[in-house]
Amino acid sequence: MVKRVIATENAPKAIGPYSQGIYKNGFVFISGQLPIDKETGEIPLDIKKQATIALQNVMAVLKEAGASVNNVVKTVIFLKDLSNFETVNEVYASFFQTECPARCCVEVARLPKDAGIEIDAIAVVD
């Protein structure tokens, strides 16, 4: 099966040579989504707002692929400061309310555009 590039205007454009997402063999692979507000191009300072926007961007790419939050099987959260773990978990729980996907969360030294968070995801579309 041929891979299909997923691109949507409802999430920020890729800031490098990569796709927002790729669909192949029933899987949707979503590139790391930064907390870039698609309307303003800005990243808010507040980590709660950053987590919300990053997850909204993940959801926009999922939707473009014909998937939803219920199709997500794995996420990776990259945090600039792991002391924000609980705050991010609160936001995350508002998106993934039942049957949460597998996940890992790691602290990183730096993220593109000096964001505080980046989130990627893998979904399965039946």
Active centre residues (catalytic): 105
Instruction: Report whether 28 contacts 21 (CB < 8 A).
Output: yes
Q: Which residues pair with 24 in a beta bridge?
A: 27
Closest by Cα among 126, 117, 124, 1 to 56:
117
Assess contact for 104 and 16: CB atoms under 8 A: no
